[in-house]
Amino acid sequence: MTILVTGATGRIGSAVVDHLAQAGASVRALTRSPGKAQFPAGVEAVAGDPADIDAMRAALTGIDTLFLLVANVPDELTQAITTLSLAREAGVQGIVYLSVYKGGDYVDAPHFIGKHAVERMIAVMNLPATVLRPAYFMQNDFAQKEPLLGAGVFGVPLGSKGVSMVDTRDIAEAAAIELLRRKRAAGPLPPETYDLVGPDALTGPALARIWSEAMGREVRYGGDDLDVLESRLRSFAPAWLAYDLKVMMRRYQEDGAVASEAEVERFAGLLGHRPRSYRDFAAEVARGWRGV
């Protein structure tokens, strides 16, 4: 039988596909453009996305394990709930769902509370699923290249409460571990939930100091102005998404998203190693930007 990976061409999904292929698993990768996708040898590319019920029914045929990653889109909740229902009808015995850290707390952030609603379905329907709740992605800060290299500014308005940011490589590794564990089991396994969190509580000013060290130049924090953030996001993203992310940042500023040591240790136990630190991430990225 085969593992179906949704979101297979994105940063996390493509890394999950690579991990599974390296482990010798039979993998089917869902993509809107199978002819353009580049996957490891042996990976089956199929057309579709979670918004297309007929395509999802076809993609789930012959599948025993599902990695469900739904993009931040206006109908994300509908897509996720429908896909889980189709998977249940298809007899899928193992599911790994990518949710979000603090999803049940950030009730005014649409893509947070939507993922929490999906978790509610998984719990009530007693689906054989592992729920992974990643914190804010370190790799989101690739978008800071221009302000960091140009003006020497770290521009993400995270505030001063702290966020336990996580490396997407650790997310993909954790997803692959759980997918393989569920696939190799003799039958459906009990539900599991993991908070995928980094080892440090990172604030905006602390991140500016980390980048100063990594780049060997002074980097200042750009401040907490959320209206400026929304305006900047609206220059390249739809208004609904810009506002969604603004609300998320407001909650980071007001409440933070700091993991407990127990959450970090549980994640480390799943990975078999400590999750990557932001300092190591920034140093690696800065070396790449310098071409060394």
Give residue-wise pLDDT tens across range 118-131. Answer: 999 999 999 999 99
pLDDT at 208 over 80: yes
Number of residues in the chain: 292
CB atoms within 10 A of CB 24: 9
Q: Kindly report whether the global pTM for this prediction surpasses the value 0.95.
A: yes
Of residues 240 and 292, more confidence is placed in 240
Burial 192-222 (b: 16+ CB within 10 A, else e): eebbbbbbbbbbbebbbbbbbebbeeebebb
Residue 292 has pLDDT above 80, yes or no: no
Domain boundaries, the chain: 2-134+168-195
Tens digits of residue pLDDT in 222-233: 999 999 999 999
Fold of 2-134+168-195: Rossmann fold (3.40.50)
pLDDT at position 35 is 87
Q: Across the strands, what pairs with 192?
A: 130
Q: Which two tokens stand for residue 1?
A: 């039988």
Measuring CA to CA, which residue among 133, 71, 130 is closest to residue 96? Answer: 130
